[in-house]
Structure 1
Amino acid sequence: MALSPISDDADWPLEILESAREEFNGTLIVSKAGEPGEFDPITGGTTGGTPPTVVLGPRAARAQNLAMPSEINGGDSWETKRRYRFQCEILPGDPSITKGLIVTFDGGRDPEIEKMTFQVLWATNSSHAALRTIYCATEGARVPA
């Protein structure tokens, strides 16, 4: 979709944000991972542990995969990673979104995206940022039921 001509040089980030909002078709949540607890092999259950802590969200957003998956083949393993970019509005008072946090996404047209977890790689923008862009990677790990 082509953008309209910019009405004022100082307004271009706002105009981009307004256009991008029309493409938000889901919601994201950024969390700090909780502690997993201890697995009991006799009962098959888990004791202890803590749930994830929400850092940001739920927030209207969009998700986009980037390039081809990367493959790493070792002598005894095979790993595939895929990079994604999530975009949402930047709001005053937003916390820092740092490397290692976890992103989940609900919505969109591909139901597989909401089944996966994504790890934050980077989440800073230019000083003229119109949106918060959160770069992530995933190995296709599924959201716990």
Structure 2
Amino acid sequence: MSEQRPERLNAERAQDVERWADFLEARVREELEAADALAPYGWWDLTPAGARRLGVQGMGGRVFAPILTGDGHWLDQATALHIVRNQPHRTRSDLTGKLMLVSLLKAQAAEDGGPLVGPLLLVVRQFCDPFIDHPDHPEYEAPEEP
């Protein structure tokens, strides 16, 4: 019976892993900077029901993001809830998880093709999708001039 060994990571695949991992890591670090810039507002919450204006407020009750979509109270409230769910403290945890994933991918790749390289690379590429319009994205295509 032969022992199954992971395929060696060829040079092209290693470059692919490095490109995607470095790209996601750079975008995550930018997002972390943006989250840190909003940290002084503390934990976010919605304005209380019946408040003079609907919005997102920080600690101390200061409304820093009034919500007026122009499409009615229900959409305004849904928009405000979405913003609250994506506040810096929660975003920071998600971003830290992405950095851990990138580190794991790089560690597996350094093991010369560890068995998780393929699946981890798929996940990293999925996390890169929202940044497809970024000029450093590995699959970025510049818009054609009119």
Q: TM-score, normalised by structure 1?
A: 0.26
Q: Which has the higher contact order (CA 8 A, sep 6+)?
A: 2
Q: Which has the higher helix share?
A: 2
Q: Which has the higher strand share?
A: 1
Query: Is the radius of gyration larger for structure 1 or structure 2?
Result: 2
